[in-house]
A and B are shown apart, each in its own frame.
Chain A
């Protein structure tokens, strides 16, 4: 295995991060008269690294890049971006390594969990970087820029397939680039629209922009410690619900629907299931909350819908402190956390499409129990799922559960006093890239600041695992991956 293919994506990543640091720093300086000087090292380090890597790239003669190299590139790119992304926190806030890393990875993986207190007191430039990091993470910037700037066709395609969950392997490089370009335009368009609408809701342009960046990316970072509750506005909540949902639907599918090239919205099984899940969860939660927690039904529906959408889309915004809600609602939210949003979107989690496929596989298997001779072909939205694909999904599901189980055990070892629900919800929230947990310790009104550094690093690793669908990071830990000949 050679590391040459790694160089260009890493150089692009570092360059991009350096430039964004500059944009954030300059915005803070220009609009809020914040000092530029503390940002200088944060800007220079990635730029210098990018320059060094560019000159070290050598002559790239090989056109074939192996699966190992792709996995290595994906894993290292995200890991290095997570570390470099933490520079502003370490330099500007002089915080611990674990806090900076946690915040940076939470941003880039669109998780939205925070270990920072009193957000209102932080420099605006840093708050902007927090939001921008989520927006970049939602874009899947590694893929985006490598696809457009890279040279190796098969490399770009494999990288794209590595990060996408709904793409067929037969996709051509041309279509892949077209899909990414369309997704990018939708992403930017939705962000601009969201910011424009939010700015009309009596909030500052800065708040509108930051929340638009973190809403469409389904990240969930807020510029206020109280989150969306700070605004206490029904209009803002409604707007956010719409944009969170849009951000969590497959972008390519949205294009096909709007250009009438693909099936109708209701014909897509993933979309149908997703909406059904959100509505059912909202109704159940509202019924539980009314009149026990909220005396009026509209209020119960309002908060239930916002929280269900926020958790279901893996955004993690909070309009109320849902950690005080009855246990059944907390369990529903935990389930939604695990499922996550649609494939091909910015949302994390197990993905609704996989859930649909898993249910169909299990149903077919159940039928086999009493009808052993039946031959069934699994097709979802016209796409054939052969046995290998079905097995892959089952392995992925099992691996997800295994990683969760191991993480729960490790977290319990690191924090022996932590209760079970806090432990599980912290692990699920990190692995599904949600953000806040479901109990008062890590819930909407709290942060992960009380967690020991090792626990923060563990949760950061889970965030990366979740963002890269487990495999890309996990394979790096297997000894055989590094062997030259085995």
Chain B
């Protein structure tokens, strides 16, 4: 396959090496002539020197023959403009790297649709996502990542006095935009139907937008008193993305940062967290800040050496789990060895996070299992399915499709729009769905959504 990478920075170069290793053809567009020259001598890829936002530069590449254009510069505006231009010039797929500020704005404005960009990726967010996955329930994070933050997953435990206890799901009259994905009862997960009677101590997993989920929580009078205490070292960009992923009253987050200006910025943006001015490499500070009560200590500053020391100090201070984030590609192997030697619980490598995120875009799998909640045949399975064009169900509304028993559609992604699907939503080719099915119906649902024969 042929790929065009715009920008030979850290991310661009890391991606280039990975693609070359996997025998793909790569063209790099770099504005900096000196860097381009250096790359020409060291990298086995075609180098085009010039500004990717200019037609004359992109004209030098045969874009209609390119499988994907990846704009990976530091500048969001350059990336957007280059992708739009590349799409106009015939690129099949465009992937645009964006940063936090723009990423936050994508919730309010559809940049993808407006600028005809196929995928927007935030590399910092991808790394934060990997950390969040470890801290939170990985299935939940997977769905949230799939919906790019537009749909949230929350778990509610029903109390005996809750008004929901003793009612069927039908009696709850839930809003169309909310789903009860699965229920955990007596250590068993199952997919509820409209007649499922809710019992005390049931653990419900709900999907929907944040506002509606909060309203449901109030309706069900559910108050959770189990908190997870997390200490983060430094107010890096990853920390900010991580704070968004951990935006939940049940996560008590503390951030330690050396730069006082950054401390104030963070404290202003996130009033519900505690911001501590100081260095996490100081044991006394960690002890003062009661790190022994932390369930997780995450060292995610941009300085790898400091991250390692901070993790060691946090262990010494009594943190239950330590997570180390590694920036430099060079340190990957060393840190991998250190992880076991120094008893770090989890290691997050920037390179692998970025590549993992981009691979899911560049080489999408038609069907992927996001997670399974049990071993038996009746256990719920979270499955992501891309619906190809020309299938039998194309054009049918959700209520007219003969779903296998105990199937629940959680998320529907239609081009740039992600939502919890309603009964009258239509499925068409190119759509992508996340469904919860019983394991035994795994094949049936794939057949249903991908087979091109009539029903």
A203 CA to B38 CA, complexed, in Å: 95
A376 CA to B285 CA, complexed, in Å: 17
Contact, CB under 8 Å: B271 / A373: no
Chain B contacts with A in 244-269, Cβ cutoff 8 A: 260, 263-264, 266-268
Q: Is B186 an interface residue (CB 8 A)?
A: no
A373 CB contact (under 8 Å) in B264, B266, B289: B289
- Looking at the assembled complex, report how far the CB atom of B281 sits from the nearest CB atom of chain A, in whole angstroms: 14
Residues of B near A37 (CB, < 8 A) are none
Contact, CB under 8 Å: A376 / B288: no
Of the 9-residue stretches B141-149, B153-161, B272-280, which lies at the interface with chain A? B272-280
Chain B contacts with A in 88-129, Cβ cutoff 8 A: none
Contact, CB under 8 Å: A373 / B268: no
Quick one: CB contact mask for A374-413 with B, threshold 8 Å, 1 for yes? 1111010000100000000000000000000000000000
Contact, CB under 8 Å: B267 / A375: yes
Chain A contacts with B in 357-379, Cβ cutoff 8 A: 371, 373-377, 379
Residues of B near A373 (CB, < 8 A) are 276-278, 285, 288-289
Residues of B near A374 (CB, < 8 A) are 274-277
Residue of A nearest to B266 (CB): A375
Residues of A near B268 (CB, < 8 A) are 377, 379, 384
Residues of A near B260 (CB, < 8 A) are 375
Residue of A nearest to B260 (CB): A375
Residues of A near B266 (CB, < 8 A) are 375
- Looking at the assembled complex, report how far the CB atom of A210 sits from the nearest CB atom of chain B, in whole angstroms: 48
Residues of A near B275 (CB, < 8 A) are 374-376
- Looking at the assembled complex, report how far the CB atom of B225 sits from the nearest CB atom of chain A, in whole angstroms: 23
Residue of B nearest to A384 (CB): B268
Residues of A near B264 (CB, < 8 A) are 375, 377
A377 CA to B278 CA, complexed, in Å: 17
Q: How many of chain B's residues touch chain A, expressed as a range?
A: 10 to 19
Q: How many of chain A's residues touch chain B, expressed as a range?
A: under 10
Residues of B near A376 (CB, < 8 A) are 267, 275
- Looking at the assembled complex, report how far the CB atom of B280 sits from the nearest CB atom of chain A, in whole angstroms: 11
A379 CA to B268 CA, complexed, in Å: 8
Residue of B nearest to A382 (CB): B271
Chain B contacts with A in 277-320, Cβ cutoff 8 A: 277-278, 285, 288-289
Residues of A near B274 (CB, < 8 A) are 374
Contact, CB under 8 Å: A375 / B271: no
- Looking at the assembled complex, report how far the CB atom of B111 sits from the nearest CB atom of chain A, in whole angstroms: 27
A272 CA to B276 CA, complexed, in Å: 31
- Looking at the assembled complex, report how far the CB atom of A22 sits from the nearest CB atom of chain B, in whole angstroms: 54
Residues of A near B276 (CB, < 8 A) are 371, 373-375
- Looking at the assembled complex, report how far the CB atom of A391 sits from the nearest CB atom of chain B, in whole angstroms: 16
A274 CA to B263 CA, complexed, in Å: 33
Contact, CB under 8 Å: A375 / B277: yes
- Looking at the assembled complex, report how far the CB atom of B78 sits from the nearest CB atom of chain A, in whole angstroms: 33
Residues of A near B277 (CB, < 8 A) are 373-375
Instruction: Name the residue among A374, A375, A379, A384 with the largest chain B CB count within 10 angstroms.
Output: A375
Residues of A near B285 (CB, < 8 A) are 373
A379 CB contact (under 8 Å) in B263, B271, B278: B271
Residues of B near A375 (CB, < 8 A) are 260, 263-264, 266-267, 275-277
Residues of B near A377 (CB, < 8 A) are 264, 267-268, 271
Residue of A nearest to B282 (CB): A373
A373 CA to B288 CA, complexed, in Å: 10
A379 CA to B263 CA, complexed, in Å: 15
Chain B contacts with A in 208-264, Cβ cutoff 8 A: 260, 263-264
- Looking at the assembled complex, report how far the CB atom of A356 sits from the nearest CB atom of chain B, in whole angstroms: 15
- Looking at the assembled complex, report how far the CB atom of B60 sits from the nearest CB atom of chain A, in whole angstroms: 49
- Looking at the assembled complex, report how far the CB atom of B425 sits from the nearest CB atom of chain A, in whole angstroms: 31
Residues of A near B263 (CB, < 8 A) are 375
A376 CA to B263 CA, complexed, in Å: 9
Chain A contacts with B in 229-265, Cβ cutoff 8 A: none
Residue of A nearest to B262 (CB): A375
A374 CA to B257 CA, complexed, in Å: 10
Residues of B near A379 (CB, < 8 A) are 268, 271
A123 CA to B426 CA, complexed, in Å: 81
A377 CA to B262 CA, complexed, in Å: 12
A387 CA to B271 CA, complexed, in Å: 16
- Looking at the assembled complex, report how far the CB atom of B444 sits from the nearest CB atom of chain A, in whole angstroms: 49
- Looking at the assembled complex, report how far the CB atom of A387 sits from the nearest CB atom of chain B, in whole angstroms: 10
A373 CA to B260 CA, complexed, in Å: 10
A110 CA to B95 CA, complexed, in Å: 66
Residues of B near A384 (CB, < 8 A) are 268
Chain A contacts with B in 57-80, Cβ cutoff 8 A: none
- Looking at the assembled complex, report how far the CB atom of B416 sits from the nearest CB atom of chain A, in whole angstroms: 31
- Looking at the assembled complex, report how far the CB atom of A110 sits from the nearest CB atom of chain B, in whole angstroms: 36
A379 CA to B269 CA, complexed, in Å: 11
A371 CA to B274 CA, complexed, in Å: 11
A374 CA to B263 CA, complexed, in Å: 9
Contact, CB under 8 Å: B288 / A371: yes
A374 CA to B276 CA, complexed, in Å: 4
Residue of A nearest to B255 (CB): A375
- Looking at the assembled complex, report how far the CB atom of A296 sits from the nearest CB atom of chain B, in whole angstroms: 39
- Looking at the assembled complex, report how far the CB atom of B240 sits from the nearest CB atom of chain A, in whole angstroms: 15
- Looking at the assembled complex, report how far the CB atom of A381 sits from the nearest CB atom of chain B, in whole angstroms: 12
A376 CA to B254 CA, complexed, in Å: 12
- Looking at the assembled complex, report how far the CB atom of B234 sits from the nearest CB atom of chain A, in whole angstroms: 13
A189 CA to B276 CA, complexed, in Å: 51
A371 CA to B275 CA, complexed, in Å: 11
Residues of A near B278 (CB, < 8 A) are 373
Residues of B near A371 (CB, < 8 A) are 276, 288-289
- Looking at the assembled complex, report how far the CB atom of B427 sits from the nearest CB atom of chain A, in whole angstroms: 38
- Looking at the assembled complex, report how far the CB atom of B253 sits from the nearest CB atom of chain A, in whole angstroms: 14
A376 CA to B260 CA, complexed, in Å: 11
- Looking at the assembled complex, report how far the CB atom of A384 sits from the nearest CB atom of chain B, in whole angstroms: 6
- Looking at the assembled complex, report how far the CB atom of A267 sits from the nearest CB atom of chain B, in whole angstroms: 15
A377 CA to B275 CA, complexed, in Å: 10
Chain A contacts with B in 143-172, Cβ cutoff 8 A: none
- Looking at the assembled complex, report how far the CB atom of B47 sits from the nearest CB atom of chain A, in whole angstroms: 46
A373 CA to B276 CA, complexed, in Å: 5
Chain A contacts with B in 441-482, Cβ cutoff 8 A: none
A379 CA to B270 CA, complexed, in Å: 11
A288 CA to B62 CA, complexed, in Å: 89
A373 CA to B274 CA, complexed, in Å: 10
A379 CA to B289 CA, complexed, in Å: 23
- Looking at the assembled complex, report how far the CB atom of A46 sits from the nearest CB atom of chain B, in whole angstroms: 50
Residues of A near B271 (CB, < 8 A) are 377, 379
A384 CA to B268 CA, complexed, in Å: 8
A371 CA to B277 CA, complexed, in Å: 10
A375 CA to B275 CA, complexed, in Å: 5
Nearest 10 pairs of A and B residues by beta carbon: A375-B263, A377-B267, A375-B275, A377-B268, A373-B278, A373-B276, A373-B277, A375-B267, A375-B277, A379-B271
Ordered by A's residue number, 29 sampled pairs between the chains whose C-beta atoms are within 8 Å are A371-B276, A371-B288, A371-B289, A373-B276, A373-B277, A373-B278, A373-B285, A373-B288, A373-B289, A374-B274, A374-B275, A374-B276, A374-B277, A375-B260, A375-B263, A375-B264, A375-B266, A375-B267, A375-B275, A375-B276, A375-B277, A376-B267, A376-B275, A377-B264, A377-B268, A377-B271, A379-B268, A379-B271, A384-B268
Chain B interfacial positions (CB closer than 8 Å to A): 260, 263-264, 266-268, 271, 274-278, 285, 288-289
- Seed contacts A371-B276, A377-B268; 15 additional CB < 8 Å A-B pairs: A371-B288, A373-B276, A373-B277, A373-B278, A373-B285, A374-B274, A375-B260, A375-B264, A375-B267, A375-B275, A375-B276, A376-B275, A377-B264, A377-B267, A379-B268
